[in-house]
Chain A
Amino acid sequence: MSVPSTTASNDVALVDLLDRVISGGVVISGDIVLGIADVDLVYLGLRLVLAPAHEVEESVNLKRVRTS
């Protein structure tokens, strides 16, 4: 028995590949300054996190469990 190659046409490989493209990779940080009429009011340091919906849901559920 040999280890099957999963090719781009294979659904499993496609799911794994898309998962890596949107969940892996370098995460860029950013800054936002909120202001009104050219007056800076609030500075926010952000970490841009883009994740698939199911991971966000899992994360929210975990936090609920920890805080309950």
Chain B
Amino acid sequence: MLLYAVIRAEAESPALVGVCGGGLETHRDAEVALVAEACDRPPENSRPMALRYYEIVDQLSRSVSALPIRFPTTVGGRDDVIRELARRAPQWRRRLDELDGLAEMVLRASWPGAAATPESGHPSGSAYLRHRAALVHTAEQTAGQLERRARLVCRDVRRLSATQGVRLACLLPRTAELELRRVLNEWQQDEVGREVTLGGPWPPFSFVDVQETAYR
């Protein structure tokens, strides 16, 4: 069984076709339900399949409050689905209630030099380390500024790993997207040379677990 999302037990999920071509099934406990699909074999771990999976989860989460499940998570059969529900129901229900009506957007900030490679002719090891320290300092400073601005609109903000620049995940009501754009526009005007791009809104993939650490 390929798992898609956790929804409230009383919610009616829309009729959707899964990535394996079958209809999605809803398995209910007293408090929550798991949306799953019976697949003959685990889905291909490819970009098109992951995108198709996302589209299904997104459709689902636009209809009902949903905790998306990491792709591709499969369990042996329906008995495993029922067992997992019984084990995690109270925790999932609590988080579903907390995330009701909220979505995730990802902020990506960049600036000149954010992508600079460290191997660009430093005369010594200490010069190289100073260069690296300056890059880290700028990234930390930018992340802090951006996070403070984002928190004016976002209910929660988490830092995501980034190979260059800064990435933040923002949890917000779907209706607050324009307000977030306004706040970020102001930040860009205040911080000349900094640029922000915004992805989403998506189901709250980064906020399903209250135990998440700040950096992932």
Contacts and interface: CB of A to CB of B under 8 A. Distances in A.
A48 B207 CA distance: 18
Interface in B64-91: 67-73, 75, 80, 84, 87
B50 A18 contact: yes
A17 B169 CA distance: 11
A25 B69 contact: yes
Contacts, number: 101
A28 interface: yes
A6 to B, nearest CB: 5
A56 interface: no
Contact of A16 (B106, B184, B189, B209): B106
A39 interface: no
A12 B205 contact: no
B208 interface: yes
B184 A28 contact: no
A17 B72 CA distance: 15
Interface in A13-57: 13-14, 16-30, 48, 50, 55
Interface stretch (B8-16, B22-30, B135-143, B195-203): B195-203
Contacts of A22: 50, 70-71
A3 B67 contact: no
B216 interface: yes
B170 to A, nearest CB: 12
A23 B209 contact: no
Nearest to B186: A3
A21 to B, nearest CB: 5
Interface in B137-176: 160-161, 167, 169
Contacts of A13: 197, 199
B63 interface: no
Interface of A: 1-6, 10, 12-14, 16-30, 48, 50, 55, 58
Interface of B: 3, 6, 47, 50-51, 53-54, 57, 67-73, 75, 80, 84, 87, 92, 104, 106, 108, 160-161, 167, 169, 181, 184-185, 188-189, 196-199, 202, 205-206, 208-209, 216
